[in-house]
């Protein structure tokens, strides 16, 4: 999905995040009966943008070549790929090391109690890192590649894309799209598969939320920088949105 990371060419980014101006209504009357992009990007770029899928009342698009993805979005994707490399969000990993250090340097706790709590933290991290399928990371990467007509396709606004995932989960109508991507072509099409898609997202989200809560309980949060605290809060919001996905009935099937 993201072959653009193998390229080194840097795209010029005119702006960041999303723009608030209203796009022209999407036209779905072309010869392929697919909506055409008529959004906030400069008109010179419209022919390079193609329709991907629809969720709720919004159409989502992508560049017709991954190399066209902007530098800012590429940087966002690189950060998400770090999660794949670590099998864990890097900020959560930082929280883990801070929690270990906090326990080791706590003069009020006995050695036996320290060792027990460190063992609990390590086991929690092992369970989170041993997940064989990272649907949460796939969803995050999708927010980089796919954009609606209201956002800036050159920039990447984390808050806006979090709201995008919340919107997808509230409609629960795009699991078919994800399961039909080339990397999933050998999976057996079924309604049960899509239900498992929901259950898997729920399980990953709940595990990560509990993991963060456990670490917060066993550490001195004052040792964390404000940037780390903000990033952890953002991760909790991501996980909450993914957890909500399974609470909404599926509205389309393979």
Query: Is residue 208 in some structural domain?
Result: yes
- pLDDT for 251 equals 55
Tell whether the torsion through CA atoms of 79, 179, 64 and 14 is positive or negative.
negative
Per residue of the chain (254 residues), give pLDDT as tens: 544 334 333 333 433 444 444 444 444 444 468 999 999 999 999 999 999 999 999 999 999 988 788 899 999 999 888 888 888 889 999 999 999 999 999 999 999 999 999 999 999 898 888 865 677 888 898 999 999 999 999 999 999 999 999 999 888 788 777 766 655 544 444 444 556 777 778 888 888 899 999 988 888 777 778 888 888 998 999 998 888 876 766 555 44
- pLDDT for 179 equals 67
Query: Is residue 199 in some structural domain?
Result: yes
Q: Cα 152–62–27 angle (5° rounding)?
A: 85
Tell whether the torsion through CA atoms of 81, 86, 92 and 95 is positive or negative.
negative
| Structural domain count, the chain | 1
Domain that holds residue 228: 72-245
- pLDDT for 11 equals 38
- pLDDT for 32 equals 60
- Quick one: CA torsion of 108, 96, 199, 163, rounded to 10 degrees? 110
- pLDDT for 5 equals 39
Output the six-digit token pair for 113: 């109690």
Query: Is residue 149 in some structural domain?
Result: yes
Query: Is residue 153 in some structural domain?
Result: yes
- pLDDT for 243 equals 85
Query: Is residue 43 in some structural domain?
Result: no
Non-local (6+) Cβ contacts of 186 within 8 A are none
- For the chain, the maximum distance between any two Cα atoms, rounded to a whole number of angstroms, is 73
Query: Is residue 216 in some structural domain?
Result: yes
Non-local (6+) Cβ contacts of 83 within 8 A are 89, 90, 134, 137, 140
Query: Is residue 84 in some structural domain?
Result: yes
Query: Is residue 24 in some structural domain?
Result: no
pTM exceeds 0.85: no
């Amino acid at each position: 999905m993201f072959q653009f990371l193998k390229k080194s060419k840097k795209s010029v980014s005119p702006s960041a995040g999303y723009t608030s101006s209203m796009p022209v209504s999407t036209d779905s009357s072309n010869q392929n009966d697919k909506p055409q992009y008529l959004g906030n990007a400069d008109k010179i770029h419209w022919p390079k943008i193609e329709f991907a899928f629809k969720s709720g009342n919004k159409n989502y698009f992508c560049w017709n070549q991954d190399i066209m993805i902007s530098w800012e979005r590429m940087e966002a994707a690189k950060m998400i790929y770090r999660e794949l490399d670590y099998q864990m969000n890097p900020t959560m990993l930082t929280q883990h090391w801070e929690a270990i250090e906090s326990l080791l340097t706590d003069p009020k706790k006995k050695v036996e109690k320290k060792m027990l709590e460190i063992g609990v933290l390590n086991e929690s991290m092992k369970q989170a890192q041993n997940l064989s399928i990272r649907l949460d990371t796939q969803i995050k990467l999708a927010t980089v590649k796919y954009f609606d007509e209201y956002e800036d396709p050159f920039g990447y606004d984390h808050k806006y894309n979090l709201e995008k995932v919340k919107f997808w989960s509230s409609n629960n109508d795009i699991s078919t799209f994800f399961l039909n991507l080339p990397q999933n072509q050998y999976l057996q099409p079924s309604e049960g598969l899509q239900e498992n898609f929901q259950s898997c997202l729920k399980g990953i989200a709940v595990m990560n939320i509990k993991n963060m809560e456990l670490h917060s309980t066993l550490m001195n949060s004052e040792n964390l920088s404000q940037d780390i605290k903000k990033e952890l809060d953002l991760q909790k919001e991501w996980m909450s949105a993914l957890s909500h996905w399974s609470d909404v009935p599926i509205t389309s099937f393979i």
